[in-house]
Amino acid sequence: MDLQQYIRAIPDFPKPGILFRDINPLLKTPAAMAEAMRQLGIICEALKPDLIVGIESRGFIVGAPLAHQQGLGFIPVRKPGKLPGEVVGIDYSLEYGQDRLEIQADALKDAPSVMVVDDLLATGGTAAATGGLIAQAGGRLVGYAFLIELEGLGGRQALAKDVPAHALLSYS
């Protein structure tokens, strides 16, 4: 199945000059979503993580069903103030400012191996920050998996060179 036919290109969203890659057609088509989960499952089986970490918020949509399918636990990485209890956080730079991600402080106790899942790899800042957060919280990052990579934005260069990164689809 060609998953690209289930990704809609929306010009000038969220602002002029941006070509947004919309995954909603894939999400609403059971066969396409099943195929995406099958392909991500192959990546997961090769990397052998103990847990799946999903980045807020579309990483939850992809990561939680993948974790369920693989019989693994799922850990959310969230924006500040969204998680109960003690958290570990990391501040990182965006194109126009700063942001922060958090994970529950005990989520990665006992140093589990972790695969990060998100819908999109663009500039790589959020994914790289998540990798740093995993290390800070005690986990071992074994790889990244994305539905889509926007190759022209150079996101892979922001990620650790020794950590595998996979994308099901890529656009220049």
Q: What is the mean pLDDT of each run of 10 residues along the chain (172 residues)?
A: 97 95 98 98 98 97 98 98 98 88 98 98 96 98 98 96 98 94
- Side by side, the strands of the sheet bearing 113-121 are 73-77, 51-55, 113-121, 140-150, 165-171
pTM of whole model > 0.75? yes
Q: Is 156 a catalytic residue?
A: no
48-171: which CATH number, 3.40.50.300, 3.40.50.2020, 3.30.1660.40, 1.20.1250.20?
Answer: 3.40.50.2020
How far, in Å, are 52, 53, 75, 106 from residue 68 at the CA level?
10, 12, 12, 21
pLDDT of residue 94: 80
Q: Which of 35, 58, 100, 156 is catalytic?
A: 58
Predicted local confidence at residue 170, as pLDDT: 97
Q: What is the pLDDT of residue 22?
A: 98
Question: Which pLDDT score, from 0 to 100, does residue 97 have?
Answer: 83
Structural domain boundaries in the chain: 48-171
What is the structure's pLDDT at 95? 72
User: In sequence order, which residues have a C-beta less than 8 Å from that of residue 23 and are 6 or more positions away?
Assistant: 6, 7, 58, 61, 119, 147, 148
The pair of structure tokens assigned to 64 is: 């939680």
pLDDT of residue 96: 76
Could you confirm whether 95 is annotated as catalytic?
Answer: yes
SS3 (DSSP) at 121: strand
State pLDDT tens for residues 67-103.
999 999 999 999 999 999 999 999 998 877 899 999 9
The per-residue pLDDT for 133 is: 98
State residue 64's pLDDT score.
98
Q: Catalytic residue among 35, 45, 86, 95, which?
A: 95
The one-letter amino acid code at 45 reads E
- Measured CA to CA, the distance from residue 60 to residue 118 in angstroms comes to 8
